């Protein structure tokens, strides 16, 4: 893989970063985190390694229920991103791998298929579904706050990089919210039209209670 695809995503998202009165605000993990994010390191303590992150060069672990390995480069892992309004994720899809339906409350997501074939899609607020088969080199945008997903459609592993216009886009998976929580089974049944047997099975699979 060349450097170009990753650089391309970064430059697409740079325009959304907000202006600052200083050159940068490297995250100080030793200080309390407030609503606006991490406090800034004292410039004298900032090192070049604060602006370098190497974890995305390693494939993620796909030995899980979704056959998906996700490696994040958010401000919580990459201090140099703090305050710059962008971040990056590596997603490794084993054969049959899926990124389940989820939302990012704080950012839009731009994905680039580096290897493999996927089907990507999102649902707008009028419940219209937008689906597309994506191949190597294709990109697709998932607008902020909309339910979306991706699935490996091919018979080989797939690799995707995703860029966000926030250093902390946030994520909530629909299946985890319903079935990995203490949301009462009866209320889920009443509000989703799923039967209780299905709900209990999914809660048992994902670790939810009640």
Binding residue ranges: 102, 104, 109, 148
Binding residue ranges for oxalate: 104, 109
Could you tell me if 73 and 55 are in contact, meaning their C-beta atoms sit under 8 angstroms apart?
Answer: yes
Strands 129-134 and 118-123: what pairing? antiparallel
Alpha-carbon distance of 127 to 30, in angstroms, equals 43
Cα–Cα separations (whole angstroms), residue 36 to 15, 45, 107, 119: 20, 21, 15, 35
Could you tell me if 68 and 99 are in contact, meaning their C-beta atoms sit under 8 angstroms apart?
Answer: yes
Phi/psi zone of residue 64: left (φ > 0), alpha (ψ -120 to 50 degrees), beta? beta
Binding residue ranges for Mn(2+): 102, 104, 109, 148
């Amino acid at each position: 893989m060349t450097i170009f695809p990753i650089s391309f995503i970064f430059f697409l998202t740079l325009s959304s970063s907000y202006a600052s009165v200083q050159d940068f605000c490297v995250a100080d993990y030793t200080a309390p985190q407030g609503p606006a994010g991490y406090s800034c390191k004292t410039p004298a303590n900032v090192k070049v390694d604060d602006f370098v992150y190497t974890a995305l060069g390693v494939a993620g672990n796909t030995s899980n229920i979704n056959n998906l390995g996700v490696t994040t480069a958010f401000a919580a892992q990459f201090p140099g991103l703090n305050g710059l309004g962008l971040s990056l994720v590596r997603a490794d899809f084993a054969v049959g791998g899926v990124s389940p339906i989820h939302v990012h409350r704080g950012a839009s997501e731009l994905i680039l298929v580096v290897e493999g074939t996927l089907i990507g899609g999102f649902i707008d607020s009028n419940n219209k579904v937008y689906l597309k088969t994506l191949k190597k080199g294709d990109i697709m945008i998932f607008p902020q706050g909309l339910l979306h997903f991706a699935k490996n459609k091919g018979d080989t592993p797939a690799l995707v990089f995703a860029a966000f216009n926030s250093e902390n886009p946030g994520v909530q998976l629909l299946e985890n919210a319903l079935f990995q929580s203490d949301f009462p089974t009866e209320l889920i049944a009443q509000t989703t039209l799923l039967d209780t047997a299905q709900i209990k099975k999914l809660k048992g699979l994902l670790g939810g209670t009640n």
